[in-house]
């Protein structure tokens, strides 16, 4: 039942679809499942990205199997419209729920998506992958910034 807090201070919100190169990046989930049906498992403790990246030197890249969080980029992010995260809105509106209870996620109280879209974002969040090379049509559409014009 969104929104909880439609316009929170940006510095208090974390992006749950961040990238490893972002300042302050930490790993908060590991992606399992299959290429077509990925499912994130949420870590009990966040790991600084600099500690995790050296473990990935083979054919699988960290962005295929890890989820990263860092401060919401607000106006520096193409998904942000000046007040809201459009990626969070589209994931919530366009993707199916893949779980029926809230994942045990450590960043919830700071998460931009949860604070904007509520639990419906969390029920869809486990299927999000940082870099997917074989996304579903729905996932590709929901994350494509080209629709913003």
Among 3, 33, 103, 118, contact with ligand SF4 (rule: CB under 6 A)? 103
2 in contact with ligand SF4 (CB under 6 A): no
Query: Which C-beta is closer to ligand SF4: that of 57 or that of 69?
Result: 69
Query: Which C-beta is closer to ligand SF4: that of 126 or that of 135?
Result: 126
What is each CA distance from 147 to 17, 24, 78, 141, in whole angstroms? 18, 29, 11, 9
107 in contact with ligand SF4 (CB under 6 A): yes
Determine which helix (DSSP H) or strand (DSSP E) holds 15, and give its type and residue range. Answer: strand 14-18
- How many residues can be counted in the chain? 149
Among 122, 129, 139, 142, contact with ligand SF4 (rule: CB under 6 A)? 122
- Phi first, then psi: give them for residue 49, nearest 5 degrees: -60, -35
The span of 44-52, 53-61, 100-108, 130-138 binding ligand SF4 (CB under 6 A) equals 100-108
Among 65, 89, 95, 125, contact with ligand SF4 (rule: CB under 6 A)? 125
121 in contact with ligand SF4 (CB under 6 A): yes
Q: Judging by beta carbons within 10 Å of its beta carbon (0-12, 13-18, 19+), is residue 23 exposed, middle or buried?
A: exposed
Cβ count near 134 (within 10 Å): 11
Among 65, 72, 85, 111, contact with ligand SF4 (rule: CB under 6 A)? 111
Which residues neighbour 12 within 8 Å (Cβ) at sequence distance 6 or greater? Answer: 110
Residues that bind ligand SF4 (CB under 6 A): 16, 103, 105, 107-108, 111, 113-114, 121-122, 125
């Amino acid at each position: 039942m969104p929104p909880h807090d439609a316009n929170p201070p940006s510095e208090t919100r974390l992006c749950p679809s961040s990238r490893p190169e972002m300042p302050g990046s930490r790993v908060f989930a590991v992606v399992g499942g299959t290429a077509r049906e990925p499912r994130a498992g949420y870590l009990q403790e966040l790991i600084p990205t600099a500690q995790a990246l050296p473990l990935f030197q083979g054919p699988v890249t960290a962005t295929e199997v890890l989820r990263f969080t860092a401060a919401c980029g607000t106006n520096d992010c193409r998904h942000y419209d000046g007040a809201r995260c459009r990626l969070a809105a589209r994931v919530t509106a366009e993707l199916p729920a893949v779980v029926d209870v809230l994942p045990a996620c450590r960043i919830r109280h700071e998460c931009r998506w949860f604070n904007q879209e509520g639990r419906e974002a969390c029920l869809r969040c486990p299927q999000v992958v940082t870099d997917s090379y074989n996304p579903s049509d729905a996932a590709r559409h929901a994350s494509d910034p080209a629709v913003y014009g």
